[in-house]
Structures are given as C-alpha cells and as structure tokens.
Amino acid sequence: MITIAFKRESVCMGDDAGNGEYTIVLPDTATLGDLIHVIRRGGSGNDWPIPYTGANSIWVVQSNIGDLADVHTDEDGEWVVRYLACSETTPLKLLGITWTFGARADSDKPTAQ
C-alpha cells in the first residue's frame, strides 16, 4: 500500500472548518493518474477534493517531488488535467511522493509541506 498525505488550500472562510489533512491510501499498483483522480473527486480516505471555483479556475497539485499536475476547468466547466512531473501512467511507487497539496494557481500564498 502507498500512503500519501493531502491538504488543500481553503477557498473561502469556513471552508476548512471541519477538514484538514487527509491520508490517501492506494494500492502498490496505483499510478499518478490514480492519485490525481482521488484528489479531484475524493475517495481513498480523502473526501475534500479540489473544488470547482468558477470557469477557468486553475489548481496546481504540488508534492515533495515538485508540481505534479495543473487541474483546471475549460470554457464549458469541464475538468482538464495537464501532467507536469511525468505521465499519468507512471507508477506511484517509482515517484517517492509522501505529501501533496492543492493550491490555486492564482494564489499568492506559499506552498504547504
């Protein structure tokens, strides 16, 4: 099993009142695409996904190995993922990711570790 911590930047007052850091547990066969799927939609111990914050909102999924993906909505409000670190089919076991953080790309806040 692969265990990865996840935390997301708060988007409004009270957004994180009942939430905080989550632990995502995935099978040894999981890929980067599987991790991003969980971060986008919840599941695997994470019920605090990256939210829809309006058309063309942009999130960056950061990690201890660097930025993993840009996650944004297009003009139609559909989610689009652009993988940055490597392919979505890369096995997580090879990457050594221990923590992830979802931050809005337009944010001036520092990244969390």
Domain containing 81 — which CATH number?
Answer: 3.10.20
Query: Residue 43's domain spans which residues?
Result: 2-104
Domain membership flag for residue 109: no
What is the DSSP code (8-state) at residue 32?
A: H
pLDDT of 1: 94
Evaluate whether residue 113 is within a structural domain: no
pTM: 0.82
Averaged pLDDT in 10-residue chunks for the chain of 113 residues = 86 60 91 92 75 71 94 80 93 94 65 45
106, amino acid identity: D
Domains contained in the chain, number: 1
The dihedral through the CA atoms of 75, 57, 66, 89 has a sign that is: negative
